[in-house]
Structures are given as C-alpha cells and as structure tokens.
Amino acid sequence: MNIVIKLMETDAEIRGKAYVHWKSWQESYSCLLDSAFLESRTLENCVSMAHRWAENTLIAKDGEKVIGFAAYGSCQDGDLRDAGEITALYLLAEYHAQGIGYRLLCEALDRLGEFQRIVVWVLEGNERAIRFYERCGFQGDGKEKEIMLGSPRKEIRMILEISLPVS
C-alpha cells in the first residue's frame, strides 16, 4: 500500500473527499446519531460542502482513491483566537489502525506551525476519536458545546499544547 498525503486540488479529489466524509459519518456515528439524521446526510450534501470549503484540506490517497482527509485553520473559539484548529479528520473504516490518520494529523499540525495551541472538537461518545487524540497529546479542557445533529448533541473540546524548542 502506497498512501500519499497531499493538498486536495482536483475536482476528482474534492468528490473523493466528499465520499469519505459521507461514508465516515455512516461508519462512525451510526451508534451515536439518529438514523433518520444520518440518512438525511446525503453524498450530494457532502459534495456541496467539499466544494464550499476546499481550502486547507489534506487528503490521503491509496492510488487514485481518496481514503481520508483532514481540514485545518485558525480556531474560531472566542477564548482561543491565538490557536489553530483541526476542523475535521476522517478516514474510511477499512483504513483504520494503519497510521494514516496519524499521518494526516501530523501534516495538518505542520501546516499549523505558527500556533502553539491546537484545538479539536469531538462528538461526545466518539470514544475511538477521543482515544486517538489523547494518544496524540490532546487533552480535554472541560469546554463543551451543544450542536444540532438531528437532535441536540455535545461536542467536547480537546487541546494540544505545543512547546517551543529550547534554543
């Protein structure tokens, strides 16, 4: 397997990212979200979102197939304006536990190099994602927010503090 991590550029890559987004929600959130809500999240919705928010998106490719993506940027939380944020990180289930999510995260962190603090919001109950981020050095800071995903759900904020090298 020859996995390549790169910036998303072409229409085919945007469509591949949209498929990963849609499929990952079906795979990861079936036990956490209402089935009616998940059914309402169509591939077409994800294609539209992928076109609207195409910048700052890395993709993982296995040959020509997009298998994962990470999106990143400046944090929009009012109390952490000086932080970067991983706004999304998804990987098809068949590629879990192979280090690809970690590679996507590391590349996104490299691109957020100007920030000493990185934020990620994780759906409460998504234990696989929480454990992944904890293994990568993120820690919950106690901040939560309610979002509507068919019904009210909570997200928890996790933060990675990056220490500057000593000169």
Cα dihedral value 102, 27, 155, 77, nearest 10 = 50
Mean pLDDT of 147-152: 90
Amino acid (1-letter code) at residue 142: G
Separation between Cα atoms, residue 54 and residue 63, nearest integer Å: 21
> What's the pLDDT at 41?
87
Q: Which residue has the higher pLDDT, 131 or 163?
A: 131
Q: Which residue has the higher pLDDT, 115 or 29?
A: 115
> What's the pLDDT at 13?
96
Residue 73: Cβ within 10 Å count: 16
Please list the residues that pair with 88 across neighbouring strands. 71
